[in-house]
A and B are shown apart, each in its own frame.
Chain A
């Protein structure tokens, strides 16, 4: 039996139940036992005084790269899971584009085993769509689901073959998992390294047009409609893409979609001076795209916030822009950046942020959590909305420091991260 945990006097905000009230929460044996005022603590209970703090269902990031196996110099499952905890996340979904890729049940089992021994945030593996992520034939989807995979994706090596994508979306329905896609027509993005537009022209960098993303968003929506399958569109960055997803939802297509903190906050002007910590895929886009992504997040077209946490060793980013790899870390800055730049600036309200970072991600991938209803798992994030802090990448628990947010003044961050009733992260101040 685990030690009971009593969270006292916090403002409990649970959008899954439209609940917003100052109460205590008791977690018994890893599950939410009940909520109420002045709960009498069991004798051996551990107590957290959450006065003045926000208590939410544990945050969930459905898009992270933990690099293990094959890229342990960038991140391991253990360091990634601890970084997740430090960012307020109680669960993450790990992308399968490791080396070797996760395309069989053994690979899924390895990720789960490493995550279990880390004793930090929960890590749910995604399996590959195609064998070896080569885009030719289906991977062992059913066996991977049996082993614990919660979805499939070829993120990093997107499926160009629309016929194979159709088969994946048909086949996955037997297992009730979403097919997650990084939408990109590689023939259109070509050798592009940033958004195509005035900034790329000025810097002499090759651009990727919005259309390279839009074409595959439309393809995925059409295939979801054709097959009746569930499509999860990753890191939407274009105005047109948002609008097409909105229309597809309205006609009943089973689609969920992500917005990433960097696409919500930054634009391609961040690439100025060839900042490789502003290089990711899809690239930072124009301010009108950013505006559309924000609107999509607010109205629920993009129902999930996911960081696309993509750690890279500093040597790898310390190169000419063309040569540096895509991606930035996001787990330890996401909550603070979004509280400061979306909630405090009235782009979205607090319940919407919690929904997009916890409730909706849990629903999209059918994973436990995303709610504080009685009997659900005891995954809780306790947030200090008033804590002012400065992003210092050298203090990250992630092995990698590739962030464009270093030095930013933020307000609000996780103070306690609780997984199954146990504190996996506590902010020392």
Chain B
């Protein structure tokens, strides 16, 4: 693997410290990788001979599968490790575990971990490239990138758009990555949810805060509706799922009051009837499945760029001409 650092850095830990050009380059590269997934033979030799470890300390279905498809369609060799059955749960430290992987000569690690900062921690300690697939409540950069790609596909631009993230902002890495990425690209960003689920000083990041969903719907061009973790009830953050749906649920009736049609997004998995009603999730303005499709393209782009690829040679790379 190339020893020189890629133009987005050695690792992708988050979007907070990427500039708008770097983000746009990732989106443009993803655009050119999209068609691979529509081919009959979904494989290009871009990462042939590279070894990638998908290291998931928290359960994940779609993110892990999305990364794995992206890796396999780029011809990388992949190994999946989940916390169940790995030695980390037996008391081995993260750093020992990573060094052992490293000793087997790998090229990249895709990691999800329950602690904020875990991806950066790992990236600073191993020479392999690290892609953050979600660290605690900190960042989930590829999710935000695929969200932005989807918005750009649907509306054509991001700058100046009004995008509101709805739900449990406090515990959400998706929210933070979206806030950083969208602000970088010049969007107006708001968050909406009960005050118990909004982090302290969130407005100082440059976002507008709505406590009522009606105000958010009135204001926004795009709603990105977050999953409400069911355990938030037990934690005393909300009284009940029923009440949450009554007060903050995105429903057809509420959207019908909006001055314009809103683009509806959700990072999944959805709790139908809690944060989003089925007729909205399945409605004409929902792009939830487009997000999933774009996820694979975005992850291919990130893998390619971190491996030293450049946005303008992606077409050659797909044909195997780069080697």
Residues of B within 8 A of A318 (CB): 93, 95
One of A74-82, A193-201, A384-392, A408-416 at the interface: A193-201
Q: B135 within 8 Å of A by Cβ? A: yes
Q: A85 within 8 Å of B by Cβ? A: no
Given the interface pairs A318-B95, A320-B94, A322-B136, the reply to whether A205 lies near B200 with Cβ below 8 Å is: no
Given the interface pairs A204-B137, A320-B117, A320-B121, the reply to whether A198 lies near B93 with Cβ below 8 Å is: no
Interface string of A316-331 (1 = CB under 8 A from B): 0011111100000000
Report whether B95 and A196 are in contact in the complex, using a CB–CB cutoff of 8 Å: no
Report whether A323 and B115 are in contact in the complex, using a CB–CB cutoff of 8 Å: yes
> What is the interface residue range for chain B against chain A?
20 to 34
B199 CB contact (under 8 Å) in A201, A320, A322: A201
A6 to B135, CA, bound (A): 61
Residues of B within 8 A of A201 (CB): 199-202, 204-205
Closest to A209 in B: B200
Closest to A196 in B: B200
Interface string of A357-395 (1 = CB under 8 A from B): 000000000000000000000000000000000000000
Q: A119 within 8 Å of B by Cβ? A: no
Closest to A204 in B: B138
Q: A420 within 8 Å of B by Cβ? A: no
Residues of A within 8 A of B116 (CB): 203-205, 274, 320-322
Q: A273 within 8 Å of B by Cβ? A: yes
Closest to B175 in A: A204
Q: How many residues belonging to A are interface residues under a CB distance threshold of 8 Å?
A: 21
Report whether A203 and B117 are in contact in the complex, using a CB–CB cutoff of 8 Å: yes
A196 to B198, CA, bound (A): 12
Minimum Cβ distance to chain A for residue B24 (Å): 23
A204 to B139, CA, bound (A): 8
Interface string of A197-233 (1 = CB under 8 A from B): 1101111111101000000000000000000000000
Report whether B115 and A320 are in contact in the complex, using a CB–CB cutoff of 8 Å: yes
Report whether B138 and A198 are in contact in the complex, using a CB–CB cutoff of 8 Å: no
Q: A43 within 8 Å of B by Cβ? A: no
Residues of A within 8 A of B201 (CB): 197-198, 201
Minimum Cβ distance to chain A for residue B123 (Å): 11
Q: B227 within 8 Å of A by Cβ? A: no
Chain A contact residues, CB within 8 Å of chain B: 196-198, 200-207, 209, 273-274, 315, 318-323
A203-B138, A321-B117 given; 15 more Cβ-contact pairs under 8 Å: A196-B200, A197-B201, A198-B201, A202-B205, A203-B117, A204-B139, A205-B138, A274-B116, A274-B121, A319-B94, A319-B95, A320-B115, A320-B116, A321-B121, A322-B115
